[in-house]
Amino acid sequence: MHNQLARQRLNMNPNATGALPDQLRMIAALRQPRAYPFPLATIEVVETHISWVLLAGDHAYKIKKAVGLDFLDYCTLEDRCFFCREELRLNRRTAPDLYLDVVPITGPAEHARIDGNGPIIDYAVHMRRFDERSVLSRVLDGEPPPQLGQRLADAVARFHLALPALPESDLNGRPEDVQQACDQVCARLAALILDAGRLGMVRRLQQWADREARRLGPTLTARRNDGHVRECHGDLHCGNVLLRDGDVVPFDGIEFSASLRSIDVIDDLAFLLMDLQARGHPQIAQDCLNRYLELTRDFDGLKPLRFYLVYRALVRAMVEIMQAAARASAELPPAAMRYLDCGLRLTNASRSAIVLTRGLSGVGKSSLSQKLCAHIGAIRLRADVIRAQLFGSGGTRSPDKYSEAASDATYEALARLSAQVVGAGWPVVVDATFLKRRQRTRFELLAEALGVPLAIVDFQAPHELMRQRISARAAAGGDPSEADLAVLDLQIAGAEPLAIDEPGLVIRYDASRPLAVADSVEAWQPLPDLLRRGANGRDHARSQSS
């Protein structure tokens, strides 16, 4: 009974594989080494609900099943040829060394050959085989490499920035398209889930998404008009990213639906961020988001980001359940529950707030604020990055970059961006020295005007330790900060201590401790609790030591 119900829900051919009998005979023939134009010992076959992948030595051949679902149509030979060529075109943008060609499969089916001499009976995308252990979803099961979030952001931002906006004649990516896509996913989930409790979760998520989609309509229209809707990857979860030869390589983008890949770039990124969160890696997700924003400066994308995160959690839950149904499994997959739970958590994210870091250069503000952002889901604005964007960066530090006028311009830019982040509904951590009272006052007034809590994290460490860190940073290179020992001496001489009457929550943080201490949420209390409770920061005008 469940098998029949699953087939009905998937709108699939009654064949258990969803494929035509001729294709099954073809696949059986392609399991034989003689079917390939090079010597082979064995062939492995990986099957999904819409394709087979034949692993043959250093090669892989991806064949589309002759299926028609409500979101794709591979029924005819012409369809499959077209979409194989689309898959090649689209994925060569990010993985040119992986996607090699489209090759014919010749028949008859019982004696099928890859690129043989008989009549063409099907097509395959010819790929370079890769080590499955290098797929990001597998990498995350172990010890992730350092700076992974930043590396992911670099690759995605580079891809997005190179994409042209959709032409005016292309009608994809309108608010009504976004709403319809979300409605369709929720409808599929409702048809697939039998458990009343789990169905209730979907209903709550759907109601939240409906409200957000309506509220965001003007924002989505404006972003489309501004060119943020582009021909993206469309399926950018952790299972479709490789870490290969030191590079981040997205692959397996959506070829079967222009509407599913012609999306807002922030929606494309949201899939990856959500999947990282759902897999238990909030630090990598937040690092990726903050680095992406530094590179693209698309802070306007924060307005719809939370909606897209929840939408992508629903999409991934749907796919997991569909794949289980295709295997005739009656159980709700644990992975589907993981994504539904993640979606619910994302609807209850931390409230907006402004958090200032205070401390001398070399105290460790940037490394520590990076940890803090993951605990509270905050957007980080780095003075060093903004200063470089305003005044340039180079090998020799220009004294003008650290003049009073340059600092004032940097803090003013930080204030404008902070207002934009808070206005989009996110907490912001402003990573700057904030050694002058007037600098802090500018943000105190901003928090009051925006009606959000204010907190100051006062990082402290011995001066000698800071000197050592600055020297080590300069020797290593690659850091946006150009503050040297001379700048540190000027800061020490001119720093204005926190006054007893300064509003907001003050947390004094001993930055001489190992960086790993910051991995614990307790190291930052009571700040995370403040944001969860949504209390007014002025009610917490007291000092806490951490």
pLDDT tens for 115-148 read: 999 999 999 999 999 999 999 999 999 999 999 9
Give the pLDDT confidence of 48-81 residue by residue, as tens digits: 889 999 999 999 999 999 999 888 999 999 999 9
Which residues lie across from 44 on neighbouring strands? 55
Q: Is the pLDDT of residue 199 over 50?
A: yes
- What residues does 379 pair with on adjacent strands? 428
Last residue of one domain, picked from the residues 346, 376, 397: 346
Burial 117-144 (b: 16+ CB within 10 A, else e): eeeebbbbbbbeebeeeebbeebbeeeb
Residues across the chain: 546
- Considering the domain architecture, whether residues 471 and 327 belong to the same structural domain is answered as no
User: What average pLDDT does this structure show over 371-399?
Assistant: 85
> What pLDDT, on the 0 to 100 scale, is given for residue 421?
98
Residues 271 and 214 in one domain: yes
pLDDT at position 15 is 44
Residue 11: band (very low, low, confident or very high) from pLDDT cuts 50, 70, 90: very low
Q: CA distances (Å), 286 to each of 198, 282, 291, 372, in order?
A: 28, 6, 8, 10
Hey, what are 46's tokens? 């990986």
Q: Are residues 160 and 268 in the same domain?
A: yes
The alpha-helical segments, DSSP class H, found in 216-247 are 217-225
- Per-residue HEC secondary structure of 98-113 comes to CEEEEEEEECCHHHCE
Which domain, by its residues, includes 372? 354-545
> In a 10 Å sphere around its CB, with 0-12 CB exposed, 13-18 middle and 19+ buried, how is residue 1 labelled?
exposed
Span 446-474, average pLDDT = 93
The reply to whether 366 and 336 lie within a common domain is: no
CATH code of the domain covering residue 487: 3.40.50.300
Cβ atoms within 10 Å, residue 390: 13
Higher pLDDT, 387 or 536: 387
The last residue of a domain, from among 94, 129, 164? 129
* CA distances (Å), origin 419, targets 102, 447, 504: 50, 9, 17
Please tell me the predicted confidence (pLDDT) of residue 396: 52
The DSSP bridge pattern shows strands 229-231 and 379-382 to be unpaired
Report the CATH number at residue 321. 3.90.1200.10
Q: Do 112 and 158 sit in the same domain of this protein?
A: no
Q: Is 475 exposed, middle or buried (0-12, 13-18, 19+ CB in 10 A)?
A: exposed
- Specify the number of domains making up the chain: 3
- Whether residue 27 is found in the same domain as residue 174: no
Closest among 446, 445, 457, 437 to 543, alpha carbons compared:
457
Same domain, 384 and 317: no
pLDDT of the residue at 265: 99
Look at residues 291, 318, 346 and tell me which one is the last residue of a structural domain.
346
- 171 and 274 share a domain? yes
**16 in the same domain as 46:** yes
**398 & 490 share domain:** yes
- pLDDT, residue 2, reads 31
Average pLDDT over residues 395-405: 70
Q: Please state the φ and ψ torsions of residue 199, each to the nearest 5 degrees.
A: -65, -35
Residue 541, pLDDT > 50, answer no
Mean pLDDT within 244-254 = 95
* pLDDT of res. 539: 39
Tokens of 85: 């060529």
Is residue 114 over pLDDT 70?
Answer: yes
User: pTM of the full predicted structure?
Assistant: 0.91
**Radius of gyration of the CA atoms of the chain, in A:** 26
- Looking at the fold, whether 256 and 390 belong to one and the same domain comes out as no
Do residue 329 and residue 191 come from a single domain?
A: yes
- Helices 196-215 and 217-225: crossing angle in degrees, nearest 10, is 60
pLDDT at 395: 53
Q: Which of 187-201, 392-406, 421-435, 467-481 has the highest mean pLDDT?
A: 421-435
